[in-house]
Amino acid sequence: MRELGCYVGREWVRPKGSTIEVRNPATNGDVIARVAQLGVADVDRAVGVAAEVSPGWAARSPWQRAEVLRKAADLLENRAARVAKDLMEENGKPLSEAQGEVAKSIVTFRYYAGLAAALDGRAFEGGAPQLRHETRKEPLGPVAAVTPWNVPAAGPARKLAPALLAGNTVLLKPATATPITAIHLVECLYEAGADPGVVQLLCGSGPVVGQPLCCDPRVRAVSFTGSTAVGLQLKNALGRSMTRLQLELGGKNAALVFSDADLGTASSHILGAAFASAGQQCTATSRVLAQREIYQPLLELLATRARSFVVGDPFDQATQMGPLIDEAGIRRVEGFIRRAVKEGARIMTGGQRIPRPGYFFEPTILSHVHPGMEISREEVFGPVLSVMDFGSVEQSVELLNATPYGLSCAVHTRDIRTAQFVAKNADCGIVVVNGPTAGIELPAPFGGFKLSGTGWKEHGPESLEFYTRTKLVSWGWS
């Protein structure tokens, strides 16, 4: 049995007392590793050291910090196959998805290493001849990064890389279900030459480790990715503080399909985004809004193709969809389907747990879904796609916006005016024209509106805004 440590203070600590059991969701929850479970005193020590070493890391030039990220990317690349295997075992993603996510994390380190110049301030003339101004982008200090289990590598990487490049120290709290991948990332950063204590890796439960970490007054910013329920709880807890808070939360993403769209291409994008990671993605397509004329043929096409989806062992090259994360995930999905059927929805295909070891569920398509039903508004976080119809472009946008979330949407049409109307009126942070709602590229700013997030963006140069503060220095007053 592998026993893995956390990084607290200036060193790796091996498991001593209680441990977290990491389980493989593709089996009957077999334990694959034990990881040290930390407590409040560890959090206190970690934050103290992160604050102590902050000035030293901030004093390194952005180019020196970029070099650490670049080396960490190379080290991660050397061990990519091992990391992908661990990710697959702790999360259940099929091989190609796990490999893709590790590759994206490597690219993330390299991408932010290449953005050192984006930390330059600007200099400009003042209103009088003797006046001159300049801005400086400064790090914030210790920042907390809290991540979910559904993106075990890319989730931590997209916080670690911009935060470290900008000169902050990072206290990373990965999800208890998937700490192994995060451990690999942190090991690579230290092997690459990060100063001792610059990254703290704190494994433990949300209430015991996450909450005290985020609420510690020495922590200057919190970047949280996870459920809307916990995000709102944190927002309340930090309400009276000046801690900067980035929330990247749930979604109820829709693909709008107009009658002039290529249904074959649209259905490929829809099914890919609906069932990748077994629907456990914040940007998963969970609603299809189909124009009345093509509602029936599209519904049948989606159901036929969903029936042939290969669900099974993540290690099998043929597998297109792996398991859900745990038994609670299965129950959650079953509950949503049961209530949807009670409200009038019909199961076109799927709807059942697959009778084999592990937490496997059939790709599911529901028809007769109407606005007002729970399934049309709330995030399921499983392989369930609801198909609804609309008449006009105005109605499509009304339906699109009729959820408390506002993360991502897709519009499938050949008419540029239709695409522009949707893009202008969609109340969500990401609009994709003739593509999937998920898989947004790294240089593109990522984040949602309404209950999907606070508006601070991840990805792209925009991410550096969250991790820096701008200081004005004015020269020339005598």
Q: Which residues bind ligand NAD (CB under 6 A)?
A: 146-151, 173, 175-176, 206-207, 210-211, 214, 225-227, 230, 233-234, 248-251, 282, 379, 381, 407, 448, 453
Query: Least distance (Å) from ligand NAD to the CB of residue 223?
Result: 10
Which residue of the set 97, 187, 248, 458 is catalytic? 248
Closer CB to ligand NAD, 267 or 281, in the complex: 281
Closer CB to ligand NAD, 151 or 464, in the complex: 151
Question: Angle 154-165/62-78 helices, nearest 10 degrees?
Answer: 160
Query: Least distance (Å) from ligand NAD to the CB of residue 173?
Result: 6
Query: Least distance (Å) from ligand NAD to the CB of residue 149?
Result: 5
Is 248 part of the annotated catalytic residue set? yes
Closer CB to ligand NAD, 68 or 163, in the complex: 163
Query: Least distance (Å) from ligand NAD to the CB of residue 438?
Result: 10
From residue 196, give the alpha-carbon distance in Å to each of 11, 187, 417: 7, 11, 55
User: What tokens were used for 254?
Assistant: 């829709």
Give me the residue label for tokens 């389980």.
Answer: 23
**What is the sign, positive or negative, of the torsion defined by CA atoms of 91, 383, 284, 282?**
negative
Closer CB to ligand NAD, 195 or 374, in the complex: 374
Q: Which residue is nearest to ligand NAD (CB)?
A: 206
Among candidates 469, 445, 468, which has minimal Cα distance to 457? 445
DSSP annotation of 303 reads H
Which residue of the set 6, 188, 214, 282 is catalytic? 282
User: What tokens were used for 460?
Assistant: 């792209």
Query: Least distance (Å) from ligand NAD to the CB of residue 247?
Result: 8
φ and ψ at 227, to 5 degrees?
A: -75, 155
Query: Least distance (Å) from ligand NAD to the CB of residue 351?
Result: 22
Is 21 part of the annotated catalytic residue set? no
Closer CB to ligand NAD, 179 or 351, in the complex: 179
CB atoms within 10 A of CB 189: 26
Listed in sequence order, the residues at least 6 apart from 265 whose beta carbon sits closer than 8 Å to its beta carbon are 412, 434
Q: What is the 3-state secondary structure (H, E, C) of 405-443?
A: EECEEEEECCCHHHHHHHHHHCCCCEEEECCCCCCCCCC
CB atoms within 10 A of CB 29: 15
Closer CB to ligand NAD, 131 or 328, in the complex: 328
Dump strand ranges (E) for 273-383. Answer: 285-291, 346-349, 364-367
Task: Catalogue the active-site residues.
Answer: 248, 282
